[in-house]
Amino acid sequence: MNNLKRLFILTTGFLLFLNSCVSKKKLLYMQDISSVDISKVFSSQNTLQENDILKIDVTSLEMKASLPYNSSSKGATGTNGNLNIIQLEGYLVSKNKTINFPILGEISVLGKTPKDLENDLKYQLENDGHLINPNVTVRLINSKVTILGEIRSPGTYTFTEKNISLLQALGLAGDLTIDGSRQDVIIIRESNGQRIATKIDLTSANWLNSPYQNIQPNDVIIVNPNTKKVTSTGLVGDISTVLSIASILLSTIILIK
């Protein structure tokens, strides 16, 4: 009986030890960063998609002459930076990939980046004699990324920056939980009518040299649970459940003996 007790104590201690141990290789980000060249910085320009909302500002040497080409004369000062109001005054990209621009009418944005649209509008305004030396800025103001899974604050986040990195996006959601697998992060991306799913291993720095260094509007990021989290959801996967069953079995054996 003493041997049985000793065996139970040793087994319990071993299980507790295994449960508390988490390998650094599964937790640390970019462990090979010292051996990977990450000096190149990517600055992506994404093509405009349906339901994008654009803020387009037009200026020229004659400020009054450029006013009719802006959706609202209040855009810069009257809203005090309220993003919701700015979006209401923005240009919505239609299903046909067009916007309705003042005076110029329907403008196609098919296959164009914000920079392409800037150049096209500037050329048309100047070439057709509308404005002298116009300056056009186009900004996407409803970029969203959805982050799900083993994240501290899952949800959909809006950003107005031209580019944000994958790490910045994860930071918006409060970073991965201790149960999130750093080696199993999925990015689902839609581009030109196609949906692509790619797995990212955050424990390596190689992804910094991939097209997934930066987030694109409407990306979905899914952080899958690690093995420990998955096994704990089983019938006897939780270590506390295993110990409870073992304790009941030992008590039963002792009573029988």
pLDDT tens digits for range 204-239: 999 999 889 999 999 999 999 987 776 666 555 555
Cα→Cα distances 201→172, 187, 206, Å: 19, 11, 8
- For residues 93 and 100, give the distance between their C-alpha atoms in angstroms, rounded to a whole number: 9
Q: How far apart are CA 169 and CA 145, in angstroms?
A: 8
Q: What is the pLDDT of residue 87?
A: 82
**Which of 1, 125, 110 lies closest to 56 in space, CA to CA?**
125
Give 2's contacts (C-beta < 8 A, 6+ positions apart): none
What number of CA atoms fall less than 13 Å from residue 229's CA on the CB side? 13
pTM over 0.85: no
Walking along the chain (257 residues) 10 residues at a time, the average pLDDT comes out as 60 56 69 82 79 94 91 50 79 95 94 94 95 94 95 94 91 94 94 86 92 92 85 58 64 64
Q: Where are the domains of the chain?
A: 25-44+143-230, 53-140
CATH class of the structural domain 53-140: alpha beta
Q: Regarding the domain with residue range 25-44+143-230, which homologous superfamily does it belong to in the CATH classification?
A: Outer membrane lipoprotein wza domain like (3.10.560.10)
Predicted confidence at residue 60, as pLDDT, reads 93
Q: Which pLDDT does position 78 carry in this prediction? A: 42
